[in-house]
């Protein structure tokens, strides 16, 4: 027996060919029966025509159906839109039959016209019906599945997303869930049935629907559902101890996965922050990265790893992921190659503070675009470790910018933070200095375009308020809030990274500062209460909220612009340019960083912390602090700086 005969694909096609041939033979015979139904029997000469040609007709029409792709379809997944190709194939097969009988004239008398019409209709009905029957049998629930009583699920949204969820539940009884109905706000759908389930009402009627049907779980199957709708559903279900899950967003669906039901996730706090997420065409806004060599520092961090994921989707010529943390670098390298199937990755274990190592990496790969996301960000930790804050956030930025320019990079993008605006902490001051360094580099290195992108807090990053609150809630509380009126700007990591990538290609001069529009600030107390409710508890009743007071240097309200900056619109939505009223003096920046480097080298933590905040004074000049630094550095023990890497 040949290997082809053993191939299951060819066996299935042979079976489909045989079934279609039998159905075409039946259609041809029934066409004669219908034609002569009024006279009781088929005349003898037409019996001769039928018996003499039925095998030829059946085989010939089945061959035509196969040539037109009908035997390449898997019948158990046959859908109504596939009826149109079947109609065309049936018409072509009947047309071939007519052509042979008219042109070759195998009989002295012609084929009746009504037989041709009946044959076409019956061929389509029988072959289409057979395909639908196979699907019905394949999707028929098994006896064990009919006996099994799973969780009852109410689906919010009767559109395409809701229907996909219901079909997945119906086709996979092992998931242990059974849909009981839909809820949809479209008045045209109310009372209608789809996939055997009724649209029970609108979300305004959700509470009585929940009381009447008592589902075990509610699935929000509207990926683009606004935060207000999600909050209303969560509130109604929380009061009845009903679990709520939601269909992923478009971005999450593009991130991978096989079954939608496996990607259903718990409702997260970012779903109810009160604004819709930023969604853009990444391939369009990131087109400038295609076929380029791109380097990302801090590639294992929260923002850096998401930068790597989204850049990998754009398919650069080479993506260089650089981090000084071995475990983080290993994880993002493994994720890109095994989960994203992007193999044009080079993992570099290096510290951005080491000029020789960074120059070696830059010269080796010659990146055309550099995203500098490496930074320390935890305010209390940096207050007690000011030397490392300045060394990693400011000095490492100077090293990375200098080595990138020296290696011929065309673009350098610094990822900054709103903590750099009018800073009152060492961490904020070190990030403000990083912004100065990049702006000054834009005037110093004319062949490299330097860009800074500043934004507020990102949700769910390591050590941020959301995972801290979540762990406190899991332990039973209390949830600690620094001040009842404290607010922060929030954005999800994926949408922040999308805007960072887009800002890297905005027109303008080197040294530009771009600020992401973060929407309205969120009160941290409201965020804590929402997270407690999402977890199924009641604030103050089940989980206590404790006010611990602001930490040293922590501001009640963050800002996105310094006092000496003004917002200027750009061609991109949600991105504005921060324009300084007074130009920055690159020479002053260079002298300041050199003196700070000397303080770091001397290990003078107390003096460094004090002088850094003086240098980053709100008036924007910082000359008093610079003068103090200069006087501190005079005398024995301090050598002249060796200069920047170039």
Per-residue pLDDT tens digits for 255-300: 554 344 444 555 555 555 555 566 667 888 899 999 999 999 999 9
Report which secondary-structure segment, H or E, holds 152.
Answer: strand 151-156
pLDDT value at residue 609: 66
What mean pLDDT do residues 407-429 have?
89
pLDDT of the residue at 557 = 86
- State the pLDDT confidence band at 639, using cuts at 50, 70 and 90: very low
Is-contact 576 570, C-beta < 8 A?
A: yes
Q: What is the pLDDT of residue 631?
A: 38
Q: What is the pLDDT of residue 620?
A: 42
Tens digit of each residue's pLDDT (9 = 90 or more) over 70-112: 887 777 777 777 888 888 888 888 888 888 887 777 777 878 8
Give the pLDDT score at 348: 97
In this prediction, residue 269 carries a pLDDT of: 54
How far is the C-alpha of 400 from the C-alpha of 645, rounded, in Å? Answer: 9
Mean pLDDT of the chain: 82
By C-alpha distance, which of 420, 495, 425, 423 is closest to 461?
Answer: 495
- Domains in the chain, please, with CATH? 3-138 (no CATH), 143-267 (3.40.50.720), 284-456+490-518+559-584 (3.40.50.720), 587-633 (no CATH)
Does 40 score more than 60 pLDDT? yes
**Confidence band, pLDDT 50/70/90 cuts, at residue 646:** very low
Between 620 and 399, whose confidence is greater? 399
pLDDT band at 408; cut points 50, 70, 90: very high
How confident is the model at residue 194, as a pLDDT?
A: 85
CA-closest candidate to residue 619, choices 581, 588, 589, 576:
581
Separation between Cα atoms, residue 313 and residue 287, nearest integer Å: 11
Confidence of residue 254 (pLDDT cuts 50, 70, 90): low
Mean pLDDT of 162-187: 84
* Predicted confidence band of residue 363 (pLDDT cuts 50, 70, 90): very high
What pLDDT shows up at residue 404? Answer: 97
The answer to whether 464 touches 457, Cβ cutoff 8 Å, is yes
Give the pLDDT confidence of 133-143 residue by residue, as tens digits.
888 887 776 55
- Residue 270 DSSP one-character state: G
Res. 480: pLDDT tops 50: yes
Predicted confidence band of residue 588 (pLDDT cuts 50, 70, 90): confident
Residue 202 in this model has a pLDDT that exceeds 70? yes
DSSP-derived secondary structure letter, 338: I
**Nearby residues of 620 by Cβ (< 8 Å), 6 or more positions away:** 562, 563, 564, 580, 582
Supply φ then ψ for residue 644, to 5 degrees: -85, 155
How many CB atoms neighbour CB 480 within 10 A?
16
DSSP string, 277-330: PP---HHHHTGGGTTSEEEEETTTSHHHHHHHHHHHHH--SEEEEEES-HHHHH
Could you read off the pLDDT of 334-348 as tens digits, one per residue? 999 888 888 899 999
φ, ψ for residue 42, nearest 5 deg = -80, 130
Tens-place pLDDT, residues 498-538: 889 999 998 677 788 999 887 788 889 988 888 888 777 78
Give the chain's count of helices (H) and strands (E). 25, 22
- List residues bridging with 590 in a β-sheet: none
Q: What percent of the chain has pLDDT over 70?
A: 85
Kindly give, in sequence order, each residue whose CB lies less than 8 Å from that of residue 365, ignoring residues fewer than 6 positions away: 293, 295, 318, 320, 346, 348
The pLDDT of residue 514 is 92
CA distance 493 to 460: 8
Give the phi and the psi of residue 330 in degrees, each rounded to 5.
-60, -45
Contacts of 419 (CB under 8 A, 6+ apart): 377, 379, 425, 427, 428, 431, 558
Two tokens at 120?
């076409």
pLDDT greater than 80 at residue 622: no
Least confident of 223-232, 285-294, 409-418: 223-232
325 has pLDDT over 50: yes
> For residue 205, what are the CA distances in angstroms to 195, 197, 199, 233, 278?
22, 17, 12, 11, 30
More confident residue, 308 or 36: 308
- What's the pLDDT score for residue 392? 93
Compute CA 34 distance to the chain's CA centroid, rounded to the nearest angstrom.
58
Do residues 23 and 119 lie in contact, with contact meaning Cβ atoms separated by under 8 Å?
Answer: no
Residue 576 pairs in a beta bridge with 515, 569
What pLDDT does 227 receive?
66
């Amino acid at each position: 027996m040949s290997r082809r005969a053993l191939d299951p694909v060819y066996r299935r096609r042979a079976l489909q060919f045989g079934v279609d041939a039998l159905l075409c033979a039946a259609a041809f015979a029934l066409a004669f029966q219908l034609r002569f139904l009024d006279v009781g029997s088929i005349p003898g000469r037409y019996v001769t025509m039928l018996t003499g040609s039925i095998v030829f007709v059946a085989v010939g029409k089945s061959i035509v159906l196969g040539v037109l792709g009908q035997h390449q379809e898997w019948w158990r997944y046959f859908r109504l839109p596939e009826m149109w190709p079947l109609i065309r194939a049936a018409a072509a097969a009947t047309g071939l039959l007519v052509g042979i009988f008219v042109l070759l004239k195998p009989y002295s008398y012609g084929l009746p016209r009504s037989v041709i019409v009946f044959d076409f209709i019956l061929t389509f009905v029988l072959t289409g019906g057979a395909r639908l029957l196979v699907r019905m049998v394949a999707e028929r629930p098994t006896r064990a599945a009919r006996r099994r009583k799973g969780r009852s699920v109410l689906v919010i949204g009767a559109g395409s997303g809701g229907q996909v969820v219901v079909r997945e539940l119906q086709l996979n009884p092992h998931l242990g869930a059974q849909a009981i109905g839909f809820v949809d706000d479209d008045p045209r759908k109310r009372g209608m049935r789809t996939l055997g389930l009724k649209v029970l009402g609108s979300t305004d009627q959700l509470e009585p629907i929940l009381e009447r049907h008592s589902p075990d779980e509610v699935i929000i199957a509207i990926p683009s559902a606004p935060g207000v709708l999600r909050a209303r559903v969560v509130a109604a279900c929380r009061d009845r101890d009903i679990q709520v899950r939601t269909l992923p967003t478009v971005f999450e669906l593009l991130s991978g996965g096989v079954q939608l039901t496996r990607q259903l996730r718990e409702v997260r706090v970012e779903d109810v922050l009160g604004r819709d997420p930023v969604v853009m065409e990444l391939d369009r806004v990131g087109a400038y990265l295609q076929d380029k060599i791109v380097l990302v520092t801090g590639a294992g961090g929260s923002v850096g790893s998401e930068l790597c994921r989204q850049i990998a989707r754009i398919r650069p010529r080479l993506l260089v992921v650089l981090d000084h943390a071995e475990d983080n670098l290993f994880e993002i390298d493994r994720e890109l190659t095994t989960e994203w199937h992007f193999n044009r990755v080079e993992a570099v274990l290096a510290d951005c503070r080491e000029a020789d190592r960074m120059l070696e990496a830059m010269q080796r790969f010659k990146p055309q675009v550099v995203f500098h996301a490496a930074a320390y960000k935890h305010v209390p930790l940096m207050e007690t470790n000011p030397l490392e804050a300045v060394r990693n956030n400011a000095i490492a930025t100077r090293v990375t910018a200098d080595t990138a320019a020296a290696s011929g990079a065309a673009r350098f993008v610094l990822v900054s933070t709103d903590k750099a605006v009018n800073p009152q902490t060492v961490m904020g001051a070190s990030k403000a200095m990083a912004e100065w360094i990049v702006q000054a580099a834009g005037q110093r290195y004319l062949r490299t375009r330097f860009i800074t992108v500043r934004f507020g807090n990102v949700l769910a990053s390591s050590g941020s308020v959301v995972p801290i609150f979540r762990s406190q809630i899991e332990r039973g509380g209390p949830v600690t809030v620094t001040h009842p009126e404290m607010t922060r700007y929030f954005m999800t990591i994926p949408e922040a990274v999308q805007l960072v990538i887009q800002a890297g290609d905005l027109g303008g001069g080197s040294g530009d500062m771009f600020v992401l529009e973060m929407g309205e600030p969120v009160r941290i107390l409201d965020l804590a209460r929402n997270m407690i409710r999402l977890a199924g508890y009641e604030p103050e009743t089940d989980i206590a909220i404790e006010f611990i007071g602001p930490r040293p240097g922590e501001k009640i309200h963050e800002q996105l612009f310094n006092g000496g900056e003004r917002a200027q619109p750009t061609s991109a939505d949600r991105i504005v340019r921060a324009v300084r009223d007074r130009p920055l003096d690159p020479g002053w920046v260079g002298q300041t960083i050199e003196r700070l480097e000397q303080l770091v080298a001397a290990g003078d933590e107390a003096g460094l912390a004090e002088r850094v905040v003086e240098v980053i004074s709100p008036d924007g000049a910082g000359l008093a602090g610079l003068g103090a630094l200069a006087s501190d550095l005079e005398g024995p023990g301090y050598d002249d700086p060796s200069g920047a890497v170039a």
